[in-house]
Amino acid sequence: MNVFGVDIGGTGIKGAPVDLDKGDLSEERFKVLTPQPSTPESVIEGVQEVVTHFGHTGPLGVTFPGVVVDGVTRTAANVDQGWVGFDARTKISEKLGLPVVVLNDADAAGVAEITFGAGRGRGGTIILLTLGTGIGSAIFVDGRLVPNTELGHLELHGHDAEKKASAKAREDEDLSWHHWAHRLTKYLAHVEMLFSPDLFVLGGGVSRKAEKFVPLIEGIKAEIVPAELQNNAGIVGAAMAAAKL
């Protein structure tokens, strides 16, 4: 089937057609910058630009960096506040004239990773964390997702965890890999205290540099592995959701 995924992020909107047998993009992805301010109207125009670039006409999966329930976006930590309470599924579907499913970005990435990537064939409790502009989370128990878990917003030492431990925090504060890994360790220890997962999968663009920080994380009982689909996981997961439409 001809399915397509779009990943809306704080900095870019990227998409591609997806080969669901391989769990990979079937063409090179196309990206536009996320407009600023990232209002729903301007971002939807970006989504349309990405989709029409490929001339796609079929089901469309779209990820969003916030809570999404029944196609309505409920939170917007790193995008314009106009998304709070916005019926994204209906609006995108009307604008593009396609059947649309909207889901949380980390949930989409997690579904792709446990199907085609680092969590493939594994049971038990798996927590995928995307370390990017914010921190996204997806929790799986024997392959079944608990959606919209938002573990990036756990409070850690009086701070919103993602403000201290995301990849953006490392860049903004110019932290060494050691310093950032130390913060990540504290964050992972907190998540482990709450959920005792069997496996942590660490995703987001920074997972490409896993060898620089994963070996520096100490004292966590769960196995820790980098994501395998890296920056394409959201697109693949979105397309997988679209295939069910």
Distance, in Å, from the CA atom of 240 to the CA atom of 138, rounded to the nearest integer, reads: 16
Using the CB atoms, write b or e for 10-32: b if 16+ within 10 Å. beebbbbbbebeebebbeebbbb
| DSSP codes of every residue in 97-134 | TS-EEEEEHHHHHHHHHHHHSTTTT--SEEEEEEESSS
* 3 state DSSP class of 70: coil
The smaller minimum CB distance to ligand BGC, of residues 105 and 228, is found at: 105
Residues 16, 18, 51, 77: which binds ligand BGC (CB under 6 A)?
Answer: 77
Residues 34, 38, 48, 75: which binds ligand BGC (CB under 6 A)?
Answer: 75
Q: Show the site string, 158-187: x = touches ligand BGC by CB under 6 A, - = not.
A: ----x-------------------------
The smaller minimum CB distance to ligand BGC, of residues 110 and 119, is found at: 110
Instruction: Please report whether residue 5 would count as binding ligand BGC according to CB under 6 A.
Output: no
Choose the stretch contacting ligand BGC; rule: CB under 6 A; options: 88-96, 101-109, 169-177, 216-224: 101-109
Distance, in Å, from the CA atom of 159 to the CA atom of 170, rounded to the nearest integer, reads: 15
Give the distance from CA 173 to its chain's centroid: 23
Instruction: Please report whether residue 78 would count as binding ligand BGC according to CB under 6 A.
Output: yes
Residues 111-140 that bind ligand BGC (CB under 6 A): 130, 132, 134, 136
Choose the stretch contacting ligand BGC; rule: CB under 6 A; options: 20-28, 72-80, 85-93, 139-147: 72-80
Give Cβ neighbours of residue 98 (< 8 Å, ≥ 6 apart).
51, 56, 57, 58, 59, 60
Amino acid at the residue 127:
I
Choose the stretch contacting ligand BGC; rule: CB under 6 A; options: 31-39, 48-56, 103-111, 112-120: 103-111
Residue 203: which H helix or E strand, with range?
strand 199-203
* Binding stretches for ligand BGC (CB under 6 A): 65-67, 75, 77-78, 104-106, 130, 132, 134, 136, 150, 152-153, 162
